């Protein structure tokens, strides 16, 4: 079925370059959540577990349906091999950044100090600095989780944060495998032609 979509002459997206502009739209559902967090703080935290689970389900579906499909379409591009390969690498980087940013936003919305337990000794000055920059902390937690580096200093302490970490790790591992598979596929097709 995907082959028919890729080969179709009348598909909606005729130029693969538009994917670089469309993919950041995956982040749009974060905007109403930010508004809810700022304007209906009590309601937001009353339903935070449900909202977080919906976010996790959304990013998994968005990744599989939209982002990974875009990479697949790029890998079947009829462009010169090196140009197509460069586009795949750049698109892969964009998908990685979008995924890490999305999970970081989730961690930030729900307070990383609520979701995670710090398992290290920091001086009061450093701990205060971390509290002031909770979005950077959320980006750090998301990046080490997605890359499966797993520093071990931030331990999930709620069920939603455990599900989020599991989901992000699986997406990170799968994305690495998808990237390697696409590069191999593109290289094999280059040799056949």
Q: Is residue 89 part of a domain?
A: yes
Q: Is residue 28 part of a domain?
A: no
CATH code (residue 124): 1.10.287
Q: pLDDT tens across 86-97, in order?
A: 777 777 888 889
Residue 28, phi then psi, degrees to nearest 5: -55, -35
State how far the Cα of 184 lies from the Cα of 181, in Å rounded to an integer. Answer: 5
Q: Is residue 66 part of a domain?
A: yes
Q: pLDDT tens across 128-174, in order?
A: 888 888 899 999 999 999 988 876 788 999 999 999 999 999 998 88
Distances (CA, A) of 145 to 52, 77, 135, 169, 180: 17, 32, 15, 6, 20
Q: Is residue 23 part of a domain?
A: no
Structural domains counted in the chain: 1
42: domain range?
37-192
- The pTM of the full predicted model, rounded to 2 decimals, is 0.77
Q: Is residue 29 part of a domain?
A: no
Q: Is residue 186 part of a domain?
A: yes
């Amino acid at each position: 079925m995907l082959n028919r979509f890729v080969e179709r002459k009348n598909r909606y997206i005729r130029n693969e370059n538009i994917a670089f502009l469309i993919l950041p739209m995956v982040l749009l559902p974060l905007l109403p959540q930010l508004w809810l967090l700022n304007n209906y703080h009590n309601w937001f935290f009353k339903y935070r577990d449900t909202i977080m689970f919906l976010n996790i389900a959304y990013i998994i579906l968005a990744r599989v349906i939209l982002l990974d499909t875009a990479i697949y379409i790029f890998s079947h591009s009829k462009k010169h091999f090196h140009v197509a390969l460069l586009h795949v690498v750049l698109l892969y980087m964009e998908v990685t950044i979008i995924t890490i940013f999305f999970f970081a936003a989730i961690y930030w919305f729900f307070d990383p100090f609520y979701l995670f337990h710090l398992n290290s000794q920091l001086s009061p000055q450093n701990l205060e600095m971390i509290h002031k920059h909770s979005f950077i902390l959320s980006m750090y937690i998301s990046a080490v989780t997605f890359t499966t580096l797993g520093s071990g200093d931030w331990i999930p302490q709620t069920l939603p944060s455990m599900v989020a970490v599991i989901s992000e790790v699986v997406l990170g591992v799968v994305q690495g495998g998808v990237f390697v598979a696409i590069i191999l596929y593109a290289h094999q097709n280059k040799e056949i032609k």
